[in-house]
Amino acid sequence: MVVVMQEGSTEEQIQHVIDKLVAMGFDVHRSTGATHTVLGAVGVLTDFDPRHIELLDGVREVVRITQPYKLASRVFRPEGTVVDVGKGVRFGGPEVVVAAGPCAVESAEQVQAIAERVARLGAKLLRGGAFKPRSSPYTFQGLGEQGLKLLRQAADKNGLLVVSEVMDPSQISLMVSYVDVLQVGARNMQNYHLLRALGEVSKPVLLKRGMSATIEELLLSAEYIMAGGNYNVILCERGIRTFETYTRNTLDIAAIPVIKKLSHLPIIADPSHGTGRRDKVSPMARAAVAAGADGLLIEVHHDPEHALSDGAQSLYPDQFAQLMAELRIIAPAVGRRIA
Amino acid sequence: MVVVMQEGSTEEQIQHVIDKLVAMGFDVHRSTGATHTVLGAVGVLTDFDPRHIELLDGVREVVRITQPYKLASRVFRPEGTVVDVGKGVRFGGPEVVVAAGPCAVESAEQVQAIAERVARLGAKLLRGGAFKPRSSPYTFQGLGEQGLKLLRQAADKNGLLVVSEVMDPSQISLMVSYVDVLQVGARNMQNYHLLRALGEVSKPVLLKRGMSATIEELLLSAEYIMAGGNYNVILCERGIRTFETYTRNTLDIAAIPVIKKLSHLPIIADPSHGTGRRDKVSPMARAAVAAGADGLLIEVHHDPEHALSDGAQSLYPDQFAQLMAELRIIAPAVGRRIA
Amino acid sequence: MVVVMQEGSTEEQIQHVIDKLVAMGFDVHRSTGATHTVLGAVGVLTDFDPRHIELLDGVREVVRITQPYKLASRVFRPEGTVVDVGKGVRFGGPEVVVAAGPCAVESAEQVQAIAERVARLGAKLLRGGAFKPRSSPYTFQGLGEQGLKLLRQAADKNGLLVVSEVMDPSQISLMVSYVDVLQVGARNMQNYHLLRALGEVSKPVLLKRGMSATIEELLLSAEYIMAGGNYNVILCERGIRTFETYTRNTLDIAAIPVIKKLSHLPIIADPSHGTGRRDKVSPMARAAVAAGADGLLIEVHHDPEHALSDGAQSLYPDQFAQLMAELRIIAPAVGRRIA
Amino acid sequence: MVVVMQEGSTEEQIQHVIDKLVAMGFDVHRSTGATHTVLGAVGVLTDFDPRHIELLDGVREVVRITQPYKLASRVFRPEGTVVDVGKGVRFGGPEVVVAAGPCAVESAEQVQAIAERVARLGAKLLRGGAFKPRSSPYTFQGLGEQGLKLLRQAADKNGLLVVSEVMDPSQISLMVSYVDVLQVGARNMQNYHLLRALGEVSKPVLLKRGMSATIEELLLSAEYIMAGGNYNVILCERGIRTFETYTRNTLDIAAIPVIKKLSHLPIIADPSHGTGRRDKVSPMARAAVAAGADGLLIEVHHDPEHALSDGAQSLYPDQFAQLMAELRIIAPAVGRRIA
């Protein structure tokens, strides 16, 4: 921690701050300049609120110098993590992995029709919601376990893996018997009960960034899962909330290279939720791959006009085919490939 | 719903949109102007995604005209709701109700010392966390049930009621035996499992606005609780996330009069979390009352420098005394009083 | 400046950073801890981009420790600045000063009718736009010099001073002969040609915060004016742009106490532009005074439904009278008074 | 305009609104549903503030249906605009046009060294600031006319065109004799005096989006220039201000396809200012092209560590070479090419 004293702070004020820091267990180094005094406090405290020092008389600013996350930090595994989700599908390796499917599972016919198409076009995972977080209590909330069964059947029939969202710790034991990757939605990124419970699961977790979460907070939420022993975490950028309303959210493409530098975990993008409109999904999917994303999560529906949830942001299968063709051109520019 | 067609949209496109709307069960009224055609679609559908229409050829914009919440709307109870939390303490009436106490319960001595002070100064509820949501897995997570017991004892001894945060549906049955008001934290505002479970409880719920939640989303979350039968919901503005970082969050004081107009539910403010710094708490508490807040949630600690959590935003008891005196001057300006 | 090295940075990397800093003229102090090395660089460089160091190998973070503004800093005048705008009216003293009037000057009758009312109710300045910044080129752009004349006449007749907006350096010489305070609008907060030109004027300047400007940027813009020799700067919070759209902007009330601490300049609030809706103006005006504002800028119109600009956010004279009465109750709570 | 009445609004209230609208010159169509009444107001008023109606009793919401911009709208030129900036270089055609160069012109040697490199690698325009908008009054403000001369010489010698920023109307006459494209910076996007003056110039204008400007506001600023007769406007996305601070701004890549749909004007991206850090420039440049950008504005410096301005976000020439090679792979995916 570095403590910057105000211009004109008194010797007494400085000494009071030093005494506090020493009492807390820090080693303190003092630098005195023409106008400012700076104190470097070195120690191993992790549970410390720098605002305590900030409020002392004569202090201008306190800067924390240790990152609050450790296991999620790039330093922990400088070579990067490859998360193997089964059947040889790996996030974080040379291949850009695509998960595709409907927003919500609606029927056996629907999910099979979509699974068949996306598998043929190069997707490796089938995505689909069985439990749906909806902002209104009056809208379709998902098929529950029946939805999971349909997903599993359609995936198995088409050589795909399954990723689906878990909303509550009580659903975990049910879900692990049907899915290959457990997804945590943006609204639950700081649901610590859920994160802790997922730390004890042996399945990979796909953790979405909250709408107003900083990159550091996303990595801290990953740390919750990893602290429990589950290191197979895949991060997902899905758009942040800003003042611009032409798109549902602002997909923060720059978060992809930023996270690549700060963390060893794979990072993918969800351009469907990130834009909320079908006609913007393909441009943003291409942008994410061009920026270095390890994968994509894309909503595809064979009949989006009749989808029960978020059809407006689902690609038609033909659009998905076109997108995959474009991605195959782009991926080599960043040394990657698409199946 | 109103559908605005693009300038130059063709008759065919207009007819296609009308056909779609009629097929969905809407009555359609058409207005044709010099440059634009506007379609008014009147119906009773609640589960409908306007983006479906927005993506049709020739459509420029779709405007939803029914609010997605009903029970939380001012129309539902034009006279306003007064939430009685016990012992004659009422949120939404002529009195501005103050809840005060430490961020986290730490010990019997701590909670008793603080309860005694805040009760004497006019607080009606004792606040304090027994289960703490923390962004880092390595920091103090609360005393759990032991904390609840200490809260209850200190409150009873000093004639106070208890408000404390619930983080997971699994904690509810335990909590209802200790607390008078169940608090939902900002990070859980869209934890729908928790909201639904609280709809079945007979205790009042204090629902905090999420850091990136719009006012409409806050009211929709209240709707989840009310849809389950629990109409005793108190809303709380606690700061939203913006680009400005001098304060931890930006306390959206304007949300207070906005919510007063849109909803019948009481609305209070939390200037402690809204600013994150002790020296900004009193100015913002005064501002909230001047803007019409029905109550305040304020962190007070007798020894904030040694608090285990958020001490930097806790007032000293003397500061709290000074604040209460200021509020007693301000409240009459808005036709209210402080005990 | 403080340079925090990455965990595991090599001795060579550290030495390279030290060499760079020394070559730039800094004195460097080194603190070595168990996991991190921290370098304190002390010097007097003002024109220095810390990102140069941030990009060197092994560097984790660079923290600037000198504030980029000097003249606007509280340290420069710890006792605070009182800006005398004439006729004994002072911003920053014990009185909360109210400037009121129409958004735009429309006619002699209009401005006289309003001036007469607001003067009687306690306003000290007449506000009104003669040159209007409008986001559309097709809307009313103001009466120009004729508007200034009407403002001056109405103000003189009613014992008021005049504040009006200057949009371009070319207007300054004209404006100084009509107005007492030159206002810089939010859109021009970083129009450096204008700011520099105002530094050479002997009239006070009312500088509004830009919609996306940080508090630091506002103080830097004040610094531009002060660096030219004009120390009579009044700052104005008028709302920032956030994701919330129920109000036109989010009036950042907390900026008032924050600026009071960082700077010696007076800070007022504009709840009319800050909310954009008449029915929210009074609650936010009360909140601003309760938080410690030195003054208010309020739009009042005797016939807002026919106003040529922003009538929807103008108070009726009766509402203004009611507000002034409420403010007279609130001001003593913060040791202030209203005329 | 569409006026949505509140649930339960009275017949009198509805009639009052209709009367108002008719008095304003609108034709009014009324739709009455089970719970809501909706009024469609059709007319040709451009200078109208919908908040006037919104504040009437019984009104819930008012929706403007005509876009406030006309000349900048896609409807005005459905086929799209190609802006020819000279020597056969065209923005908006099949080629993705790259402008590269230093942030600020510093010396003849510097600008020549950089011009030579970027020309050889495929850039078509030389960018460089002669007049620099700087947030601090104490930092380097540019070489002025001497800088323009150096830019012109270096460009001519290497077959490049020149783009440089104009900050004030008073600079225009000087600049047009040196540059091929006049750039308006983000801070001046709503400097209406400058925009109007540029409407009368016969050179193309590159208009950057303001840090907190919506896409609609950017198009309205373009409208100011076009309303004066200058239709050669090139738009530029350069990052918006959000809560995330790891990057200097959040480059809103989705704005590229959104603007393509709303407007006929070419849209380019500036990943240098959009990220503020050299190591994020290339990923975001690739993303912009993958999303459909018509061009790029990139800072390149042969010796960025000694640059007088923004060196930290300038690419080394070798990095620029690598980026151009990557872009040549990506462009065909969107049916484009790079010279």
- Sign of torsion, CA A261 A267 A270 A273? negative
Compare CB distances from A31 to C6, C42, C243 and report the shortest one's residue: C42
Q: For residues A136 and C102, which has the higher predicted lDDT (pLDDT)?
A: C102
Q: Is-contact C275 C188, C-beta < 8 A?
A: no
Q: How far apart (Å, rounded) are the C-alpha atoms in residues D287 and B50? A: 30
Query: Nearest to residue B166, comparing CAs of B150, B148, B151?
Result: B148
Q: Grade residue D45 by pLDDT with cuts at 50, 70 and 90.
A: low
C313 CB neighbours in chain D (<8 A) are 51
Is the Cβ pair D247, A261 closer than 8 Å? no
Beta bridge partners, B99, equal B125, B297
Three-state SS for A162? strand
Q: How far apart (Å, rounded) are the C-alpha atoms in residues B233 and B88? A: 17
Is the Cβ pair B8, D61 closer than 8 Å? no
Closest residue in C to B331 (Cα–Cα)? C330
Q: How far apart (Å, rounded) are the C-alpha atoms in residues C336 and A174? A: 63
Q: Reading across the β-sheet that carries A2-5, which strands appear in turn?
A: A27-32, A37-42, A2-5, A59-63
pLDDT, residue C231, reads 96
pLDDT, residue B27, reads 79
Compare CB distances from A36 to C66, C242, C245 and report the shortest one's residue: C66
Q: Grade residue C43 by pLDDT with cuts at 50, 70 and 90.
A: low
Q: Grade residue D123 by pLDDT with cuts at 50, 70 and 90.
A: very high
Closest residue in C to A40 (Cα–Cα)? C31
Region B149-172: mean pLDDT is 96
Closest residue in B to A214 (Cα–Cα)? B241
Is the Cβ pair A139, B193 closer than 8 Å? no
Cβ-based contacts under 8 A for chains B and D? 77
Query: Chain B closest CA to C152's CA: distance in Å?
Result: 34
Compare CB distances from B38 to D2, D60, D241 and report the shortest one's residue: D2
Return the biggest CA–CA distance within chain A: 77
Q: B223 at the A interface (CB within 8 A)?
A: yes
Q: A136 at the B interface (CB within 8 A)?
A: yes
**What pLDDT tens digit does each residue of chain A (339 aa) get?**
778 888 788 889 999 988 888 888 788 878 776 667 888 777 655 566 777 787 788 888 787 766 778 899 998 899 999 999 999 999 999 999 999 999 999 999 999 999 999 999 999 999 999 988 777 777 777 889 999 999 999 999 999 999 999 999 999 999 999 999 999 999 999 999 999 999 999 999 999 999 999 999 999 999 999 999 999 999 999 999 999 988 889 999 999 999 999 999 999 999 999 888 889 999 999 999 999 999 999 999 988 777 776 777 899 999 999 999 999 999 999 999 997
Q: Which of C44, C243, C264 to probe by mutation at the A interface, max A CB count within 10 Å?
A: C243
pLDDT, residue B161, reads 98
Structural domains for chain D: 2-63 (3.30.70.1140), 74-334 (3.20.20.70)
Instruction: Fill in the DSSP letter of residue D144.
Output: T
Q: Please, which residues 227-246 of chain A have a Cβ atom closer than 8 Å to chain C? A: 241-243, 245
Q: How far apart (Å, rounded) are the C-alpha atoms in residues C229 and C329? A: 38
Q: List, for residues C129-140, the tens digit of each pLDDT value.
A: 998 877 777 777
Is the Cβ pair A4, C42 closer than 8 Å? no
pLDDT, residue D49, reads 72
Is the Cβ pair C312, D51 closer than 8 Å? yes
B290 CB neighbours in chain C (<8 A) are 283, 286-287, 289-290, 330
Q: D161: alpha, beta or left, given left = phi > 0 and alpha = psi -120 to 50?
A: beta
Cβ-based contacts under 8 A for chains B and C? 127
Return the biggest CA–CA distance within chain B: 77
Q: List, for residues B107-160, the tens digit of each pLDDT value.
A: 999 999 999 999 999 999 999 999 887 777 777 778 899 999 999 999 999 999
pLDDT, residue B47, reads 61
Is the Cβ pair D31, B40 closer than 8 Å? yes
pLDDT, residue D134, reads 76
Q: How far apart (Å, rounded) are the C-alpha atoms in residues B63 and D65? A: 10
Three-state SS for D125? strand
Q: How far apart (Å, rounded) are the C-alpha atoms in residues A329 and D339? A: 18
How far from C338 is each of B326, C120, C324, D292, D332, CA to CA, in Å?
17, 13, 8, 58, 68
Q: A135 at the B interface (CB within 8 A)?
A: yes
Q: Which of A54, A55, A315 to probe by mutation at the B interface, max B CB count within 10 Å?
A: A55
Q: Grade residue D41 by pLDDT with cuts at 50, 70 and 90.
A: confident
Q: How far apart (Å, rounded) are the C-alpha atoms in residues A164 and A161? A: 10
The secondary structure of chain D in percent helix, strand, coil, rounded to multiples of 5, reads 35, 20, 40
Q: B212 at the A interface (CB within 8 A)?
A: yes
Region B91-113: mean pLDDT is 95
For the beta carbon of residue C177, count every other beta carbon within 10 angstroms: 10
The yes-or-no verdict on residue D323 having pLDDT over 80 is yes
Q: Grade residue B44 by pLDDT with cuts at 50, 70 and 90.
A: low
Helix axes B255-262, C278-290, angle to 10 degrees: 140
The yes-or-no verdict on residue C45 having pLDDT over 60 is no
Q: How far apart (Å, rounded) are the C-alpha atoms in residues A285 and A281? A: 6
Q: Is-contact D250 D240, C-beta < 8 A?
A: yes
SS3 annotation, C184-230: ECHHHCCCHHHHHHHCCCCCCEEEECCCCCCHHHHHHHHHHHHHCCC
Q: C161: alpha, beta or left, given left = phi > 0 and alpha = psi -120 to 50?
A: beta
Q: How far apart (Å, rounded) are the C-alpha atoms in residues A103 and A272? A: 9
Q: Please, which residues 72-131 of chain A have a Cβ atom closer than 8 Å to chain C? A: 75
Rg of the Cα trace of chain D?
Answer: 23
Q: Is-contact C266 C89, C-beta < 8 A?
A: no
C287 CB neighbours in chain B (<8 A) are 253, 287-288, 290-291
Closest residue in B to A276 (Cα–Cα)? B51
Rg of the Cα trace of chain C?
Answer: 23
Cβ-based contacts under 8 A for chains A and B? 117
Query: Nearest to residue D163, comparing CAs of D268, D288, D274?
Result: D268
Is the Cβ pair D286, A291 closer than 8 Å? yes
Q: Please, which residues 7-26 of chain D have a Cβ atom closer than 8 Å to chain B? A: 7-8
Q: Is-contact D211 D239, C-beta < 8 A?
A: yes
Q: D214 at the A interface (CB within 8 A)?
A: yes
Query: Nearest to residue C14, comparing CAs of C43, C45, C53?
Result: C53
Q: C63 at the B interface (CB within 8 A)?
A: no
Following DSSP, what letter does each residue of D34-93 receive, concatenated?
SS-EEEEEE----S--THHHHTSTTEEEEE--S-S-STTBGGG-TT---EEEETTEEETS
Q: How far apart (Å, rounded) are the C-alpha atoms in residues A140 and A129? A: 11
Q: For residues B6 and A171, which has the higher predicted lDDT (pLDDT)?
A: A171
Q: How far apart (Å, rounded) are the C-alpha atoms in residues B4 and D336? A: 34
Q: For residues B253 and B303, which has the higher predicted lDDT (pLDDT)?
A: B253
Compare CB distances from B33 to D33, D34, D42 and report the shortest one's residue: D42
pLDDT, residue B316, reads 94
> Which amino acid makes up residue A226?
M
Q: Name residue, tokens 């809260």.
A: B151
pLDDT, residue D47, reads 62
Query: Chain D closest CA to C274's CA: distance in Å?
Result: 15
Q: Is-contact A214 B243, C-beta < 8 A?
A: no
C73 CB neighbours in chain A (<8 A) are 7
Query: Nearest to residue C158, comparing CAs of C95, C200, C100, C212?
Result: C100
The secondary structure of chain C in percent helix, strand, coil, rounded to multiples of 5, reads 40, 20, 40
The yes-or-no verdict on residue D101 having pLDDT over 70 is yes
Three-state SS for B294? coil
SS3 annotation, C244-277: CCCCCCECCCCHHHHHHHHECCCEEECHHHHHCC
Please report which helix (H) or strand (E) contains residue C125, including its range: strand C125-127
Is the Cβ pair B258, C246 closer than 8 Å? yes
